[in-house]
Amino acid sequence: MRTVFITGVSRGLGAALFEQVIAAGNRVVGIGRSFTGAQDDLALQEPARVALWGANLSDPSTLPSPEALRELFAPDGEVVLIHNAGTVTPIGPVGALPPDELAASITVNLTAPMLLTNAFLAAAAGRTARVLFISSGAAGRAIEHWSAYSAAKRGGEWFMEVLAAEAAHREPPLVVASVNPGVMDTGMQAALRAEDFPAKDRYVGLHERGELPDPASVAERIIREYLTSE
């Protein structure tokens, strides 16, 4: 049975991935600060298929160790880590960003994925594995007032590039990918529409015209393209 770890599963894309990965017959481990009532119930009712690890990604000391991760693996099968959790805040011009929010943003969006990947691969020695980093179009272009989010996503993509180069020498195989899911109708998009930044009208317009895809459809595409291919 494949074991899939997903960060940030309480809402949006993470919640959709969680539901669809379970429906496909995998063991799922959610990692994050909070979980839905349905997720809590599943973890209690079906511990062989669902587990939850409470962690605050802005506090690396709460992340699972390699030993803890290994104990959450199914007895056999591929192991997968999907870095979904993220925060777009703080939004604002450089020079006016709250230092504590800036530090937390980099920790959640970049430091935590790097540390968790490091622990995951230590745990996964001898297992076929995959690591997916949910990135953003902001990693590839400058969006004014999004400096923290953009820089962290670009850094995460480069970390995955280096890991992919290392994966070429790994046995058993390791698949590595950065995934740009595109815009979708999530709480993050709602939070962006409440902020003030130069490109705000574009995101407001997408929402008003009904052009934001549902997270479930985006999750289905990610699973089809990155978890069913060899």
- Assign residue 10 the CATH number of its domain: 3.40.50.720
- The one-letter code for the residue type at 28 is V
> How high is the pLDDT of residue 206?
82
**Bridge partners, residue 174, by sequence:** 129
| Separation between Cα atoms, residue 215 and residue 16, nearest integer Å | 6
Say if 56 falls within a structural domain: yes
* Domain residue limits at 223: 3-184+216-227
Q: Quick check: is 205 in a domain?
A: no
The answer as to whether 50 is a domain residue is yes
- Let me know if residue 198 belongs to a domain: no
* pLDDT computed for residue 70 by the predictor: 98
Domain total in the chain: 1
Asked, for residue 204, whether it belongs to a domain, the answer is: no
Q: Is residue 210 part of a domain?
A: no
Residue 144 lies in a domain: yes
Distance between CA atoms of residues 48 and 4, nearest Å = 13
Whether 124 is in a domain gets the answer yes
H helix count then E strand count, the chain? 9, 6
CA dist 88 and 191 (Å) reads: 9
d(CA 62, CA 177): 25
What pTM was estimated for this model as a whole?
Answer: 0.95
Task: Give the chain's residues under pLDDT 50.
Answer: none
Query: What pLDDT shows up at residue 203?
Result: 85
The side-by-side arrangement of strands in the sheet containing 79-83 is 50-54, 27-32, 3-7, 79-83, 129-134, 174-179
How would you label 75-97 residue by residue, b for 16+ Cβ within 10 Å and e otherwise?
eeebbbbbbbbbbbbbbbeeeeb
The pLDDT assigned to 229 comes to 56
Residue 127 and residue 79 in contact, taking contact as beta carbons nearer than 8 Å: yes
Q: What angle do CA 69, 73, 76 make, to 5 degrees?
A: 145
128 within 8 A of 70, measured Cβ to Cβ: no
| Distance in angstroms (rounded) separating the CA atoms of residues 186 and 148 | 20
Which positions ≥6 away from 13 have C-beta within 8 Å?
84, 134, 181, 184, 186, 215, 218, 219
Distance CA 165, CA 163 (A): 5
CA neighbor of 124 nearest in space, from 179, 207, 68, 162: 68
